[in-house]
Structure 1
Amino acid sequence: MARECRRVIEISRRPYAYRTSHRLDELEFVQPDGTQLKLLLKDLRRSELGPARRVKPRLVHNPRREVEAYRVLADANLGTPICHNSGKHWLLLEKVQGVELWQVGELATWVDVARWLAAFHDHFASKPPSSVALLDYDAPFFRLWPERARRKHPELRRVLSGYDRVIKLLISQRRTLIHGEFYASNILVAGSRIAPVDWEMAGMGPGVLDLAALLSGWGDSERTAIAAGYRDVSSEVLSAAQLHLALQWLGWSADWTPPPEHARDWLVEALAAAERLGL
């Protein structure tokens, strides 16, 4: 994953204005030919999580996970950010000159992202990585979240009584490498290049979870159009994935609310998905 070492001179370092969770510094270098190079240094230690440290469940925090994800992605040639170097708790990443997908209003671009997602899932379904650092989106993982969400929202008790069906639907899907938080705020678009960032929840599981994250916030007709760029996914399976994502947000922490880029009424979304599933 590390690139060939070349002599460079660091000329500036400052906190990156658009950090999401972990500390992120923007570094500027001058290369031997005089050109400037901007990189991002991500500190993956739990102590550098900022406000998220208080509420992020320890069960999903592993500083090695994103390092491992970039190692796996390095040879896939899918346009993800280049990892120039890494250590036990840090990453030195390419600063992609793009815009976050949520700022893009053209539906065609979202369809292109869905096509990219299908190619990404196809690639790793046929070449599954093996790593203990990656999350395993299996039945025990899916069982974690209903009870955590129900403690905070007792009104979920009735609809979650049939949650085993949701788990069966999700674990019956093809397993592949998934991003885990494939929301528009974590996807950079640079021309025709699509470069997802923040692979902290990467793991092996059903690809429909990534598709459900991509579709969140859109109306029915837009969701149908975007999903068509991915592949045929049954409405039942998609609703199961949407319910899981909502419960995961609701179960994150008893005194936690999502950051602005993920600020939706997840309780309403959970109840709506449960209704579509007949729970």
Structure 2
Amino acid sequence: MSGRTDAEVLQGSIERMVADLSGGLPAPVAIERQASRCSSSYASDIVTVELPGNKKLRMFLKNFGTSYIAKNGMRARRERELGAYRDLLAQADLGTARYYGSVWDESQGRFWLLLEFVDAVPVRYCEFEYWVEAAAWLGRMHGYFSRHQDRLASCDFLLRHSADYFSSVAEVALEAVAQIADDLLARLKKALSGYDRIVTVMASQPLSLVHGAYVPSQILVEQQAEGIRICPIDWELAAVGSPLYDLAFFSDGFQPPKLDRIWEAYRQEAVNRDVFVPDRETMRDVVDCFRLHKVINWLSQSKERAFPEQEVANLVGMAEQFAHLCDGRVASGLSGFRRRV
């Protein structure tokens, strides 16, 4: 592809993708590329492919070659999202965006992921009933992949939520806070003095595919004639780990009775697909362990993203509260909860 313009590369790639679609489609009449208003940390475009007979095909082009926010492990992140769409989600029939293809050219710095353009709204802007649907979708997804452990095991691009993973995030958090304020570092060290036991709980759960950032801004909702379509996006943190990791991120901030409805919607779909879901009290305890990890993960990024010291202090305070809560529960016997597959 050396020496070819972006437009030439895109046209050739889309012509091949269109030809490879089921049944084959006629060659495009024209291809239009416009910047997307939905770009987040990466540049993205809406590609409109005009076909004979006044038909159109719209694609979403995510450009991993351009990022507006510095991120660790950029190469691994893009490989992970590509692999998730191409090797896992394409065969799962879960309503995620269709994978059309990719342009991956290290020498030219082109890393384009081409997906179905889903004209939908993030669930964060939707009524609560749609949040319940998103929780139910999560249970279906975990159920599907809990039955396909062999596929997950063969995907080296996925993160592994092992004890080493959780411990390493905590180590990075301590290093980051050490560069911000000595008193905050001392408080965080004290809060994490018993973290090894909490890590054991998080790393000893049943396994499935984990989205890794199942939060309201990453979940699209589309109202279709046949019902509601839930379409999570941004799979660059996809992992093999506990299903309750995603549920913790999604339900964070809710209180009963809304929290009960979210958890029950998840439980019904997951259990119907043979996912082991613990009793509500144990579920609460494990979810809170993952909420503690979420705070620590934010602290691990505090220096890189130049968080104000007051924001870091607030996060350390949250870590202290969760650590105290989780330490007490682990000491009371939560550590006896072990992996069941």
User: TM-score band, normalised by the shorter chain?
Assistant: 0.7 to 0.9
CA RMSD, aligned part only? 2.1
Q: Which residue of 2 aligns with 1:139?
A: 163
Residue 276 of structure 1, CA deviation: 2.2
Q: 1:145 to 1:73 in 2, by over 3 A?
A: same
Q: 1:240 to 1:60 in 2, by over 3 A?
A: farther
Q: How does 1:233-248 map to 2 (within 5 A)?
A: 233=278, 234-248=283-297
Residue deviations 1:176-233, cap 9 Å, x none? 1111010110000112100000111111111111111111233354223211211255
Residue deviations 1:140-161, cap 9 Å, x none? 1111111222331412111111
Of the three residues 95, 100, 111, the one matched with 2:117 is 95
Write the distance in 2 (CA, Å) between the matches of 1:70 and 1:85: 9
Residue deviations 1:1-57, cap 9 Å, x none? x65253223442122111122221111121222122221111223xx112x12xx12
Of the three residues 209, 215, 222, the one matched with 1:177 is 209
Give SS of 1:158's match. Answer: helix
Give SS of 1:18's match. Answer: coil
1:119 and 2:151 aligned? no
Q: Which residue of 1 aligns with 2:37?
A: 17
Q: How does 1:61-72 map to 2 (within 5 A)?
A: 61-71=76-86, 72=88
In structure 2, what residue type is equivalent to 1:63?
R
Q: Which residue of 2 aligns with 1:251?
A: 300
Give SS of 2:157's match. Answer: coil
More moved, 171-180 vs 143-152: 143-152
Residue deviations 1:66-95, cap 9 Å, x none? 110002100110000011112333211111
Judge conservation of contact 2:198–2:327 (CA < 8 Å) in 1.
no
Give SS of 2:192's match. Answer: helix
Judge conservation of contact 1:60–1:201 (CA < 8 Å) in 2.
no
Judge conservation of contact 2:191–2:319 (CA < 8 Å) in 1.
no
Higher Cα Rg, which structure: 2
Q: Which residue of 2 aligns with 1:225?
A: 261
Give SS of 1:149's match. Answer: helix
Give SS of 1:189's match. Answer: strand
Please list every run of 5 or more consecutive structure 2 residues that lacks an aligned counterpart in the other structure.
1-16, 105-110, 178-183, 268-276, 308-313, 329-341
Q: Which residue of 1 aligns with 2:249?
A: 213
Q: Which residue of 2 aligns with 1:84?
A: 100
In structure 2, what residue type is equivalent to 1:193?
R
Greater helix proportion: 2
Q: Which residue of 2 aligns with 1:262?
A: none
In structure 2, what residue type is equivalent to 1:120?
M
Q: 1:221 to 1:203 in 2, by over 3 A?
A: same
Judge conservation of contact 1:100–1:188 (CA < 8 Å) in 2.
yes
Provide the TM-score with structure 1 as the length reference: 0.88
Write the distance in 2 (CA, Å) between the matches of 1:101 and 1:244: 24
Write the distance in 2 (CA, Å) between the matches of 1:10 and 1:73: 29
More moved, 265-274 vs 11-20: 265-274
Provide the TM-score with structure 2 as the length reference: 0.73
Give SS of 1:81's match. Answer: coil
